[in-house]
Structure 1
Amino acid sequence: MARIGYARVSTNDQDLEGQLKRLEAEGCDVVRAEKISGASREGRAELETIISFLRPGDELVVTRLDRLGRATRDVLNLVHECEQKGASVTVLDPNVSTRGDMGRVVITVLGMVAEMERRFIKERQREGIEQAKAKGKYKGGRPRIDHGRVRQLRTEGLGPSEIGKQLGCSRMQVYRILELPASERPQERTRTSGGL
């Protein structure tokens, strides 16, 4: 019987450290982590590895329910798969486990509430953007990575891996930026110093 921790953040610039420390402090024998969106299960290799290796009596531990997934259906499917293998799921905040019948109900309710909350946030955000556009104040989101700096470093002879290291992003993000046609590029700022 093992306690297996799973930590997840959605983007490369988010920090996993807090989740990792919490899971280790809770006595997880193994902790696996990844930086990928929780919108679907696709591409979440670390989570799939955990699920495939679960044995009867094992416990999958996450700090919060949304670390498992963003959609209630995905979370419930994961819980079901764990139960089929004789394993349980424990969420640390709030402290709930699927070992008892009540835990399964609580996880279902939490998933539904979280999904509804995300829909409300998106709706409010959409309304705010529409109002800002109507007033001529909306200029769109600022790109997280300075596209101009990526191109500048490329012209200086750096490869995608080195550019990614310098700017704190993945090699694939660098490739995507370099492949963008000029018509789709965000307005680029000229930089006089390195860094982000």
Structure 2
Amino acid sequence: MLVGYARTSTLDQKAGLDSQERELKDAGCERLFIEQVSSVDVTARERLTEALAFVRDGDTLVVTKLDRLARSTAHLLEILETLTAKGAALRILNMNMDTSTPTGKLMLTVLGGVAQFEREIMLERQREGIAKAKAAGKYKGRKATARAKSDEVMALHEKGVGATKIARELGIGRASVYRIISDSIGA
């Protein structure tokens, strides 16, 4: 059985998710596992976990692109090991790669390493760009949204509203609520 897995990082990437779903169906996938979650937080990828648990001996997990599946070579190899232990294979459509062959496994490992290298280089360039922008006074970072609501937090706190409810009502994190209260009391 061909089992498809599709993922986008954010909710506003609906078109990309629809495209992946269409490609997986066109490839003959009988069962699809779809989610919208960042690949950085691999623990939150519940549908990937379900897909890996679902595959059986002789099945093939199908993805449209390598970066939809794994962000690092180590994570890729971990997924591949799980599939191999179950007697399943991995197919990546845009690379025309299938790990049911020794050559496919080798190529996937090499390409996974290259993909991880590219990502690390991109992140390094991004950090350098941010450092240059900061030095030039052009990069201020994200505006502190919770601190801007300090008066509202304190007003609700003084009315006896709990931190969780304050956070939910104002659309900020609970830790931010505690920090604002602590700073105000300590001041």
Question: Aligned Cα RMSD in Å?
Answer: 2.8
Q: Which residue of 1 aligns with 2:11?
A: 12
Q: Tell me, which stretches of 5 or more residues in structure 1 are unaligned?
A: 152-171, 185-196
- Quote the offset at 1:181 in angstroms: 3.9
> So what's the TM-score if we normalise by structure 2?
0.75
Q: Tell me, which stretches of 5 or more residues in structure 2 are unaligned?
A: 153-166, 181-187
1:128-162 deviations in whole A, cap 9, x for unaligned? 1111111111122579xxx99xx9xxxxxxxxxxx
Q: Which residue of 2 aligns with 1:54?
A: 55
- Mapped contact 1:39–1:71 kept (Cα < 8 A): no
Please give the secondary structure, in 1, of the residue aligned with 2:43: coil
Q: Which residue of 2 aligns with 1:75?
A: 76
Task: Give % identity.
Answer: 40
Comparing 39-48 with 66-75, which one deviates more in the overlay?
Answer: 39-48
Rg: which structure is higher? 2
Q: How does 1:85-164 map to 2 (within 5 A)?
A: 85-141=86-142
* Counterpart-to-counterpart distance in 2, 1:64 and 1:125: 23
* Counterpart-to-counterpart distance in 2, 1:119 and 1:174: 38
Closer, same or farther: CA 43–182 of 1 in aligned 2, 3 Å: closer
> So what's the TM-score if we normalise by structure 1?
0.72
1:147-192 deviations in whole A, cap 9, x for unaligned? 99xx9xxxxxxxxxxxxxxxxxxxx9988626434988xxxxxxxx
Q: Which residue of 1 aligns with 2:46?
A: 45
Verify: 1:177 aligned to 2:178, yes or no. no
Q: Which residue of 2 aligns with 1:66?
A: 67
Of Structure 1 and Structure 2, which has the larger fraction of its residues in helix?
2
- Mapped contact 1:7–1:67 kept (Cα < 8 A): yes
* Counterpart-to-counterpart distance in 2, 1:29 and 1:121: 36
> How many pairs does the alignment contain?
159
Please give the secondary structure, in 2, of the residue aligned with 1:93: helix
Please give the secondary structure, in 2, of the residue aligned with 1:4: strand
- Quote the offset at 1:71 in angstroms: 1.0
* Counterpart-to-counterpart distance in 2, 1:74 and 1:98: 16
* Counterpart-to-counterpart distance in 1, 2:122 and 2:63: 23
